[in-house]
Amino acid sequence: MATVNLTHSVPSSLPLTPFVNEPFVDFAQPENKRRMQAAIADVQSKLGREYDMIIGGKRLKTTGKIFSMNPAHPAEVIGVHQRAGTEHVEPAMQAAQAAFTTWSRTPVADRADLLFRAAALIRERSFEFCAWLTLEVGKNWGEADADVGETIDFLEFYGREALRLHGTTTPIQLPGERNQLRYVPLGVGAVIPPWNFPFAIMAGMTAASIVCGNTVILKPSVDAPTIAAKFMELLEEVGLPDGVVNLCPGEGPDFGSAVVAHPQTRFIAFTGSKAVGLDIHERAAKTQPGQIFIKRTILEMGGKDSIIVEADADLDAALDGVVASAFGFNGQKCSACSRAIVSADIYDVFCDRLQERVSKIKTGDPAENVYTGPVISEKSYRKVLDYLDIGKKEGTVLNGGHAIETPEGGYYIAPTVIADVAPTARIALEEIFGPVLAVIKSHSFDDALSIANNTEYGLTGAIYTGSREKLDRAREEFNVGNLYFNRKCTGAMVGAHPFGGFNMSGTDSKAGGPDYLLLFTQAKSVAEKLGHASPAAEKQAEQMGM
């Protein structure tokens, strides 16, 4: 259980309990299974609806459209969305700036309360949101539930964190002065989330922005805009003022690049590929005419993550962790294990048992709660198949290595294990973002650590060993932002595992941790010399905790 320090003053209107992660749903329970099936049927009856762009509370339609499709049934339209262009950047910016003048001065307790109310509604409608995730991006029920639960966690956690920051005091109060440290909002930010966690990351980055008093131009992924539209509906329902969040689906090279380059965009919160993240970083670094600040980039850009398995490991636990990390949500997580680095002493038996386990994985329609489903799109499908062709030349295929044909034409690829891969092979170094695991032999613990650190990324990693000495060495030498001992390398929990990586994995922003909201604020120190205000003003300042 994660907790948040609430020793600072909290408004009495918000009696908060310590933060606790949202529990997972047990779909083995008949009632939960029934509710999920009913939610899927209900959502299927709502497919194909058209959603508006929302700028300053006004609904807009465009000639160009974005069609969100079900990756398990590519002919099935989930939602039709407007296509924002460069002509929409300035209206969105003006609406966000206008809203900022009042939202930035809204009491932090009110901003936090809005997050708490949104979390409560999502909790009430969790099965519905799970169903949207299953149909729009192909998550099985458990993966969808984890996404929804993390969304709730982000809202609850960031609301409490905003209150904690509001109660911050300076380490020292100088004699004769009243010293105050305030965390104030930055301004208008661009939030550019990914499709693989289209609810949790999208809502998390948006919530972190607005609870700190910023306003947002939200550009959801073209592969998952319906979830963002549903979240926007919910924000409006709980009373978010017009213009605080402006929903603008659009293509990255068009609308997204223009928002990033705008001289009044104060920060960019992005999760996605390395190539796009670096382009955002470069564009943000170029000062535009009329720009009076340095833009801040909050970037999470993927990984090439390894699990080290030593000869003294609990082999069953290691196999469980590797398989879950590699093939959960079809390997489409930046935290996914794409490399198993296995000691030569157990390499053959590990590969034999891994092959046996992976052969039992079922692939099919996630609406039927099959363990692995489709990859997100035809573009991703073609990319993974190209890497399979490369992998067949770089190692020995133990499982998969091919597409799975279905009558509906879904984008299915068999869970693939390729053994005997060299540490410098392309499939060992390049991010594939699909159900592909490379198995690499290590000849010593030094060799294993060297291989684990040989990529340009540094997001997650894990090690299975019974040796305290090896764990202690890994703690210092395994160069990743999220390191796990004797457990899988996916499934970071808000509050317990602040998430973000090193090197080309991004700016190590540590989402879901106590430092995250600092990235959406700037610190302002205020010192007042005592004895120059009226007694009434002094007393009022004391009551306000200044």
Active-site positions read 300, 334
Helix axes 200-211, 225-237, angle to 10 degrees: 40
With contact defined as beta carbons under 8 Å apart, do 431 and 459 qualify? no
How far apart, in whole angstroms, are the C-alpha atoms of residue 300 and residue 290? Answer: 28
175: Cβ contacts below 8 Å, ≥ 6 apart: none
Whether the Cβ atoms of residue 305 and residue 339 lie closer than 8 Å to each other: yes
How far apart are the C-alpha atoms of 85 and 65, rounded to whole Å?
11
Enter the tokens of residue 273.
Answer: 């590929």
- How many angstroms separate the CA atoms of 56 and 102, rounded? 13
From the CB of residue 518, how many other CB atoms can be counted at a distance below 10 Å?
16
Facing residues of 136 across strands? none
**Cβ-Cβ contacts under 8 Å for 347 (sequence gap 6 or more):** 441
**CA atoms within 13 A of residue 177's CA, in its CB half-sphere:** 10
Q: Is residue 266 a contact partner of residue 191, using CB atoms and an 8 Å limit?
A: no
Neighbours of 316 (CB within 10 A): 10
> Residue 75 corresponds to which tokens in the numbers above?
């002919």
Kindly list the distances between the CA atom of residue 223 and the CA atoms of 227, 252, 377, in Å, as whole numbers in the listed order: 10, 12, 8
Report the SS3 class of residue 380.
Answer: helix
Q: Are 194 and 179 in contact (CB under 8 A)?
A: no
One-character DSSP codes across 181-247: EEEEE--EEEEE--SSSTTHHHHHHHHHHHHTT-EEEE---TTSHHHHHHHHHHHHHTTPPTTSEEE
The residues with which 50 forms a beta bridge, in sequence order, are: 80
- CB–CB of 81/229 below 8 Å? yes
- Exposure string of 198-233, with b = 16+ CB inside 10 Å and e = fewer, is bbbbbbbbbbbbbbbbbbbbbbbbbbbbbbbbbbbe
> Distance between CA atoms of 356 and 359, rounded to whole angstroms?
5
